[in-house]
Amino acid sequence: MYLILTNVPQETYRELVAAFLRCHPEAKGKLLSYDQIRYHVRNLTGIIPVHDDMYINSCMAFTGPYKDLDTCLKCPEPRYNPAVLHSSNGIIKKPRQSVTTIPIGLQIQALWSHQLSTEKMSHQQQVTDALLSQTKLPDILTDYTEGQDYLANTVQHLKPHDTVLMFSADGVQLYQNKKSDCWIYIWVIYNLAPGDHYKMWYILQGGFVPGPNPPKIFDSFFFPGIYHLSALQREGLVVWDAHGQKLYRDNPFILFVMADAVRIADVSGSAGHHARVGCRLMCDLAG
């Protein structure tokens, strides 16, 4: 019931449980509450969100080099709620807003540990091995694996069990008659066949930045997720291959960084499409 109702309000789950119990009162005490089932799923998957403080108007997140600041660099607003809370351990500082990060490593481990997804994840390596054994590339390219840049420059950095990723970020309009009031970034798995790249189950959540205003110091919101990935790239991530029934060390590889014309400026640090020289390819074409 919880998985079926993933994309609906929490209250729908509670109402469905209540309706079920009216028909089957003997099930009382056996069906878990919404909070209980979320806790149960978290323990089963090991995927736990990380929350970091951010500025109330979405200017920046208090991460990395900014983690010890108490005020925003863009506006003189405080980091914590002015209302002071007291407990037996002293004063509790409550942040006014939080940004959520879903660590990519835990999601990668979950993918490799499932029989079906593990078989699909082997597509990139199988295609690569077949292409490297040929003397001529195909005349018509059907996927990135057949490109000369990939075969000449990227393959040498990949091991058979390394997860190949695409990073993408954009704003999301949650309500029909409002501006974008939420910003997200995602990871797309490129070990899969082209027909599976963008299926919902294989698009992994990276993080969520609540609005209502667009982020100003964008890197501060990406920092926890990218720092986590950087550690996995250096030290490796132990994964269980459900198909081969073995443990492997996965060093995730970012192959593509994508965004639309507006958001790519925040991701790449360029001036943006309104600037005089705003091309994402850094060419000399004047805007």
Residue ranges covered by each domain of the chain: 1-45, 99-268
Q: Report how far apart, in Å, the C-alpha atoms of 116 and of each of 3, 4, 76, 246 are.
A: 18, 20, 51, 15
- pTM, to two decimals: 0.83
Identify the DSSP state of 89. Answer: T
- Dist CA 238 CA 232 (whole Å): 9
pLDDT tens series, the chain, 287 aa: 888 887 888 899 999 999 999 999 998 888 888 999 988 888 888 888 999 999 888 889 999 999 998 888 888 788 888 766 555 566 778 888 999 999 999 999 989 998 889 999 999 999 999 998 888 888 888 899 998 889 988 999 999 889 999 999 988 877 777 666 788 999 999 999 999 989 988 899 999 998 778 888 889 999 999 999 999 999 999 999 998 899 999 999 999 998 887 778 777 777 777 788 777 676 777 76
**Going by DSSP bridges, is the β-strand pair 90-92/253-258 parallel, antiparallel, or unpaired?**
unpaired
Cβ neighbours for 41, distance < 8 A, ≥ 6 positions apart = 2
Residue at 172: amino acid letter: V
Q: Report how far apart, in Å, the C-alpha atoms of 152 and of each of 137, 250, 281 are.
A: 12, 21, 21
Length of the chain: 287
- Dist CA 194 CA 84 (whole Å): 53
